[in-house]
Amino acid sequence: MSVSATPEQVRDLFLQAYSLTDGDTKIALLEESVRLADICGDFKLRYDAREHLIQAATFGGAPEKALVAYSWSLAQYDARPEEVDEWDVLWKYKWILDTIANFPQISKAQILEMLDDMAARYQRAGYSLRPNYLMRNRLYQFWDEAEAARYFHKGHETPRDIMSDCAACERSDEVSFAIREGDDARAVELAEPIIRGRMRCSSIPKSTFANLLLPLVRLGRLEEAVSLHFQGYRLVARAAKGSVSTASEHLEFLVVTENFDRAVAIFEKHLADAAPLADAASKFDYYLASWFLLAQLAERGVETLRLRLPHTFPAYEERGTYETATLAAWFLAECESLAALFDARNESDSYTRSIRKTAALKELTTPHPIRDVEEFASLGF
């Protein structure tokens, strides 16, 4: 047993992590690499370890860990700018802000100050403010929709540069905006190049396909929705822990179209990922969709359910049988308390409203059984 660490040990951890997908194991290996690199004391290693960790944690469902590692890296950039890749640090600022509002314990004042800090840093480094405006749109939507829309348009009028998101990401953002504005037809039209596979990146089309499910149902284009569900869910299953929020959208879609067997399978599958999340917004999304599923089942007279839920789940039952209505109520209560935290922070009622919006999805119910359920089950999820 030794109290020291060698650069080789750190590099070996990088190598082990490299071959893994972003998720718990990779994050754990990289956290260990950060600790060992710190013991080694080599600056480059300490920085690289965090860089890897930020990426794995951002896309592997642990944005709180990305935030911690990033704040260290940013401080190093301030202290020794010549030793740090400026573009890389500033690019990752977007990742951090993208999830910052998911933590209700971060105050609104802090979020606004971070947005200003990001803008100031981009300006000092000579980059366009386009990503900052588009980020403001995504964050302001929680407390001031008109102001958010203003930033959305301002962002699109500001020139692109190498700090801008890729074309697929920006298009996906436009699709979300159209959905927010209630223009489903326009959202689907804007998404055409993404649906056709001409625009894609590491996060697109995963999120876009999920976003489009309910708009397509509202437009009565169910076959297209089913196709996007098939394609999109495959991508979600692949990156489970980082895609809890996206899985929620698939869940709601399956409930609205009354594909309950499939919905329950997906609900069981992702609960183990959702329940321990520190990212309260993703957890809220998942719990809300879960409540909707269970409430709809209860309304249809399903009194009990045999479920395989994770042992760590707070409402876990040893015997595996759950009262549908009781479990639904548990999820609703969780959602309400999370919504209260978010709404207090945001000084708005956007989260409470989203509970009401999900409840209202009941009116959208459009039975559309998906064929070949066994086939689906054997697809490997």
Partner 1 sequence: MDYKFQINLGGIIDLLSNHIYSSPQIYVRELLQNGVDAILARRHVQPEHAGAIRIEVFEEGERGQPSLVFEDNGIGLDEEEIHRFLATIGQTSKRGSLPSERTDYIGQFGIGLLSCFVVSDEIVVVTRSAKSESSPTIEWRGRADGTYSIKMLDDQVEPGTRVRLLCKAGSEQYFKPQAVRRMARHYGSLLPYPITLTTGGAAATRVNAEPPPWKQTFIDANDERKAYLDYGRETFEMEFFDYVPLRARVGDVEGAAYVLPFSPSLATKKTHKVYLKNMLVSENAEGLLPDWAFFVKCVVNANDLRPTASRESFYEDERLNLTRAALGRSLREYLVELAREQPQRLQKLISLHYLSIKALAVDDDEFYQLFIDWLPFETSAGQMTLGEYKRQHQTLSYVPDLDQFRQISRVAASQSLVVINAGYVHDAELLSKHADVFPAVPVAVVDSTRLMHSFEFLTLDEQEAAADFVRFADGVLRPFNCAAEVRKFRPRELPALYNASSEVNFVRAVEQAREVSDTLWSGVLGNLAGGLHADAFASLCFNYDNPLVYKLSRMRDETLLRLSVQMLYVQSLLLSHRPLNVKEMSLLNDGLLGLLEWGVEVEGGWVQ
Interface with partner 1 includes 114 (CB under 8 A)? yes
Among 126, 159, 197, 367, binds partner 1 (CB under 8 A): 197
Interface with partner 1 includes 110 (CB under 8 A)? yes
Reference 278, options 104, 17, 31, 138; nearest CA is 104
Is 65 or 250 the residue whose CB approaches partner 1 more closely? 65
Among 81, 123, 124, 310, binds partner 1 (CB under 8 A): 310
**Stretch touching partner 1 by CB under 8 A, among 27-35, 138-146, 153-161, 244-252:** 27-35
As measured in angstroms, the least distance from the Cβ of 272 to partner 1 is 8
Rounded Cα–Cα distance for residues 232 and 321 (Å): 31
- Which residues are within 8 A (CB) of 364 and not within 5 positions of it... i.e. 6 or more apart? 214, 217, 218, 256
Dihedral sign (CA 40, 44, 49, 54): positive
Interface with partner 1 includes 29 (CB under 8 A)? yes
Rounded Cα–Cα distance for residues 96 and 63 (Å): 7
**Stretch touching partner 1 by CB under 8 A, among 22-30, 164-172, 184-192, 357-365:** 22-30
Is 94 or 295 the residue whose CB approaches partner 1 more closely? 94
Interface with partner 1 includes 76 (CB under 8 A)? yes
Rounded Cα–Cα distance for residues 248 and 109 (Å): 29
As measured in angstroms, the least distance from the Cβ of 21 to partner 1 is 6
Interface with partner 1 includes 227 (CB under 8 A)? yes
> Which stretches within 41-144 are classed as H helix?
43-59, 63-79, 86-100, 108-124, 130-140
Interface with partner 1 includes 107 (CB under 8 A)? yes
Cβ pair 351, 339 in contact under 8 A: yes
Among 7, 11, 72, 149, binds partner 1 (CB under 8 A): 72
Rounded Cα–Cα distance for residues 197 and 6 (Å): 45
As measured in angstroms, the least distance from the Cβ of 76 to partner 1 is 7
Cβ pair 11, 29 in contact under 8 A: no
Cβ pair 343, 349 in contact under 8 A: yes
Is 255 or 307 the residue whose CB approaches partner 1 more closely? 307
Reference 347, options 165, 101, 162; nearest CA is 101
Amino acid identity, residue 256?
V
Rounded Cα–Cα distance for residues 77 and 69 (Å): 13
As measured in angstroms, the least distance from the Cβ of 354 to partner 1 is 21
Interface with partner 1 includes 8 (CB under 8 A)? no
3-state secondary structure of 306: strand
Which one-letter DSSP state was computed for residue 321?
A: E
**Stretch touching partner 1 by CB under 8 A, among 80-88, 110-118, 170-178, 249-257:** 110-118
As measured in angstroms, the least distance from the Cβ of 48 to partner 1 is 15
Give me the phi and psi of 297, to 5 degrees please: -65, -45
Among 48, 91, 106, 348, binds partner 1 (CB under 8 A): 106
In angstroms, the Cα distances linking 54 to 13, 131, 169, 243 are 15, 19, 19, 16
Amino acid identity, residue 349?
D
Among 6, 44, 75, 364, binds partner 1 (CB under 8 A): 75
Which stretches of the chain bind partner 1, using CB under 8 A?
1, 3-5, 18-21, 23-25, 28-29, 31-32, 34-36, 38-39, 64-65, 67-69, 71-72, 74-76, 78-79, 100, 103-107, 110, 113-114, 117, 197-198, 226-227, 230-231, 234, 237-238, 272, 278, 308, 310-311, 372, 375-376, 378-381
